[in-house]
A and B are shown apart, each in its own frame.
Chain A
Amino acid sequence: MVQERSMMDDVWRRFRKNKGAVIGLTFIVLVILVAILAPVLSPHDPLKQDILSRLEPPSSEYLLGTDELGRDVLSRLLYGARLSLAVGMSALGLGVVVGVTLGLISGYRGGTIDNVIMRIMDILMAFPGVLLAILIVALLGSGITNLVLAIGFWLVPVFARLVRGTVLALREREFIQAATAMGARDGRILIRHVLINSLSPIIVYATLSIPSAILSAAALSFLGIGLRPTDPEWGAMVSAGRPYLREAPHLVLVPGFAIFLTSLSFNFVGDALRDALDPKLKA
């Protein structure tokens, strides 16, 4: 236990040296707080339309102006943090849980099961970019659950391959053989020994996958195949603001930069985590 603690201290010390990562982490914490506190922080109802004050520039009443239906852009932005993070995180959770499980089984069992699982992963990876998600949403219809399913599915092979690789490397190590020799059951070995020891690459990949999940969710919403058009989602807000690009560019710029800064922050943190967890890899 003492050993582990000092390792985490080391990781934190190395992480802290990276200024971009610290700023990124601060921004992420801020976005999470905003997502939780959106109902408290929002000056207006994000869905309330006011036809008389459409496309208003920022003012003291509406700090970030109003949109094409007279809704408060700031309130929609704050509520949007909820949707973007919720979709991104749930999709990631799905991808990690399913992917890690498949990867553990595949790598540990080997043989036919391994072959079957990995060929299925190859097939899932053969759909370029958001196409698999589009196929899923096209079938199941839009809606937040289907969006999460679509993006989660797309992340599964990434984690399955990653974990399988680490399992294969770990399987030959002495401490696993010792555990087997001592009569530990497969499940125990997989969770207590193999999974624990593959945590750091999983954490790094997970952090670096959050931006992809957020960007894909936003892209699908932008294309109008994610959430309902009224939902205050950042990608959907950019899409809704595009016809008014000339007279009210803030409608596009505000949510667009929110997506950009959030995914940039996660990328900074992910890069720094990778360097901090495995100093050998640091260039």
Chain B
Amino acid sequence: MQRFFVRRLLSMLLVEFGVILLVFLSLHLAPGDPVDVLIPMDVSGAAGTAQAARLRAELGLDHSLPVQFVRYLKQVATLELGTSITSGRPIGPELMERVPATLQLGVAALILALLVGIPAGVISAIKRSTWIDNLVMFFALSGVSFPNFFLGTVLILLFGLVWPILPPSGYADSSILTWQGARYLVLPAITLATSSAATLARLTRSSMLDVLREDYVRTAYSKGLAHFTVIFKHAFRNSLIPVLTVLGVQMGHMLGGAVVVESVFSWPGVGRYMLAGLVGRDYPVVQATVLVLSTVFVGTVFLTDLSYTVVDPRVRYS
């Protein structure tokens, strides 16, 4: 177990190092002078030249690439993410202000996806090849195919405008634990959860069907256990292992999806901050948000990897 842990940890650190390197290089891989990318298009002439000189000194672009990278690594390690060009403020605190909103959205969507996706997959597998199975799987395939920005827009149209029971967009300052605050979360969370719920349903179903073919399930039946006991005590628990392994990847999809969903619902999270940076050509902001979101993703995948070695001892020995 210890060796496995160390190996996973090392490979995670390697990937994270690569991510930092890639994000760092992204500024230098672009054609032309990196400083050009950093200066808003509307600043030109003398003001532009002055700003370029200032930025060059500030970013240490006059040093060699390896020296710059070491500096960048030090900055990242101390959570020093640079300065926003548009606001002139440090990016770290600006980003932290927006983390809670994204976290609320992500956690709500994840819970929703698990609560809908896994039971749907189990029902589908138990009722295999019946109309229930076909219906659930049709919805699952539709859920995977539905563009999240379009789903969000349709939900706004239906429940915000045609039948106005929920706010079409925005964010309440009141606590998320009260209905006043939570009602803003309903539509964005559904939008973000849908494709993950659909993926989980498809995966749970096929995993459950695999397990139901196993010898130990037949044994459980033949020793006279009730159908319900076999399904839940023997089949369901084992069928969750493959589901658990993709959970990390699903959370990654959600982080990416959150960028779109936050934009659709004017949700004041990290994704919208990044997009504002993109539109305003505020490159340090884009760089920092991509770095932070990817790091969260790498950490999540690492944790899910570890968690299923706890659940499934077979993994450790392979």
Prevailing SS type, chain A contact patch: helix
Q: Is the CB of A245 within 8 A of B149?
A: no
| Cβ proximity bits B185-222 to A, threshold 8 Å, 1 near / 0 not | 00000000000000000000110010000000000000
Q: How distant is the Cα of A134 from the Cα of B209 in the complex, in angstroms?
A: 38
Q: Is the CB of B145 within 8 A of A260?
A: yes
Q: How distant is the Cα of A136 from the Cα of B157 in the complex, in angstroms?
A: 33
* Chain B positions within 8 Å of A239 at CB level: 149
Binds B, one of A52-60, A73-81, A167-175, A215-223: A215-223
* Chain B positions within 8 Å of A134 at CB level: 259, 274, 278, 286, 290
Question: B74: CB under 8 A from chain A?
Answer: no
Q: How distant is the Cα of A238 from the Cα of B16 in the complex, in angstroms?
A: 36
A113-160 contacts to B (CB < 8 Å): 119-120, 122-123, 126-131, 134-136, 138-140
A275 CB to nearest B CB, Å: 11
Q: How distant is the Cα of A242 from the Cα of B274 in the complex, in angstroms?
A: 21
Q: How distant is the Cα of A217 from the Cα of B87 in the complex, in angstroms?
A: 30
Across the two chains, which residue of chain B brings its CB closest to A266? Answer: B145
Q: Is the CB of B23 within 8 A of A128?
A: no
Prevailing SS type, chain B contact patch: helix
Question: B153: CB under 8 A from chain A?
Answer: yes
Q: Is the CB of A123 within 8 A of B156?
A: no
Q: Which of B19, B205, B252, B278 contacts A123 (CB 8 A)?
A: B19
* Chain A positions within 8 Å of B255 at CB level: 128-129, 131
Q: Is the CB of B154 within 8 A of A256?
A: yes
Q: Is the CB of A123 within 8 A of B22?
A: yes
Evaluate whether A135 and B145 lie within 8 angstroms (CB atoms) in the complex, with A130-B260, A242-B153 already known: no
* Chain A positions within 8 Å of B128 at CB level: 283
Q: Is the CB of B147 within 8 A of A140?
A: no
Across the two chains, which residue of chain B brings its CB closest to A271? Answer: B141
Q: Which of B26, B147, B275, B298 contacts A139 (CB 8 A)?
A: B26
* Chain A positions within 8 Å of B254 at CB level: 128
Q: How distant is the Cα of A134 from the Cα of B286 in the complex, in angstroms?
A: 9
A241-273 contacts to B (CB < 8 Å): 242, 245-246, 249, 252-253, 256, 259-260, 263-264, 267-268, 271
Question: B102: CB under 8 A from chain A?
Answer: no
* Chain A positions within 8 Å of B232 at CB level: none
Q: Is the CB of A138 within 8 A of B148?
A: no
* Chain A positions within 8 Å of B153 at CB level: 238, 242, 245, 252, 256
Question: A85: CB under 8 A from chain B?
Answer: no
Q: Which of B30, B37, B263 contacts A223 (CB 8 A)?
A: B263
* Chain A positions within 8 Å of B19 at CB level: 123, 126-127
Q: Is the CB of B297 within 8 A of A127?
A: yes
Question: B104: CB under 8 A from chain A?
Answer: no
Evaluate whether A128 and B149 lie within 8 angstroms (CB atoms) in the complex, with A135-B26, A135-B286, A139-B37 already known: no
Q: How distant is the Cα of A223 from the Cα of B256 in the complex, in angstroms?
A: 13
Q: Is the CB of B18 within 8 A of A123?
A: yes
* Chain A positions within 8 Å of B294 at CB level: 126-128, 131
* Chain A positions within 8 Å of B142 at CB level: 260, 264
Question: A211: CB under 8 A from chain B?
Answer: yes
* Chain A positions within 8 Å of B283 at CB level: 138
Q: Which 6 A-B pairs have the closest CB atoms?
A: A129-B256, A123-B18, A256-B150, A128-B252, A264-B145, A128-B255
- Could you name 21 residue pairs across A and B whose Cβ atoms are closer than 8 Å? A119-B14, A123-B15, A127-B19, A127-B290, A127-B297, A128-B251, A128-B253, A128-B293, A129-B253, A130-B259, A131-B259, A138-B278, A138-B286, A211-B144, A219-B147, A223-B275, A238-B147, A245-B156, A256-B153, A259-B150, A264-B145
